[in-house]
Amino acid sequence: MSCIAPVDFCGHESVRSLFVKLLSVVIVWVCLCRQTLHLSRQLADRVLEAQACYSLGNAYTLLGDYVHAIEYHALHLKFARDLNDGIGESRACWSLTNAHRAVGNCEQAASYMLQYHDICHQVTSFGLLNCLSPFCLLLIFYGLIF
């Protein structure tokens, strides 16, 4: 795929071989997720459709194809909101934060990060993610931690 940047393996063919195998697995994953998305639409199963979009967004993120990742994470966010799925909504916002940051859309990334923070405070059963302060989120956003 043309969206994947060339990688220098410094002569380590075993690492290169592993990379190629993992890339093949992700490409197969994309195909399976697309089939799942198609099936979910045939069945009119919005929960399955939301999950397929989330998985496709993650797969495209792994491939470095952030344009498609943003497209599918945005669809997942729409479904999560329609389904009143707070955890799904927070995951979609977090994923959109990372994807927008990767392509340099800092304002969009910051907007999704703030939405993520607000959602985490609304979803009381979310555990540790509820404890992330705005300061901690900024450190993560600027790549200073994690």
Specify the CATH number for the domain of residue 132. 1.25.40.10
How high does pLDDT run on average in the chain?
Answer: 82
Residue 35 lies in a domain: yes
The total number of structural domains that make up the chain:
1
Residue 5 lies in a domain: no
Residue 71 lies in a domain: yes
Residue 2 lies in a domain: no
Integer Cα distance of 123 and 7 in angstroms: 40
Question: Higher pLDDT residue, 124 or 79?
Answer: 79
Structural domain span for residue 74? 13-141
Residue 60 lies in a domain: yes
Residue 4 lies in a domain: no
Residue 54: closest CA among 83, 20, 18, 25: 83
Question: Higher pLDDT residue, 134 or 2?
Answer: 134
pLDDT tens-digit profile of 99-129?
999 999 999 999 999 898 888 777 655 444 4
The DSSP output letter for 137 is: H
Q: Which spans in 6-122 are helix H?
A: 13-43, 46-63, 66-82, 86-102, 106-122
> Contact at 8 Å (CB) between 55 and 37?
no
Q: What is the pLDDT of residue 19?
A: 74
31 is written with which tokens? Answer: 């195909």
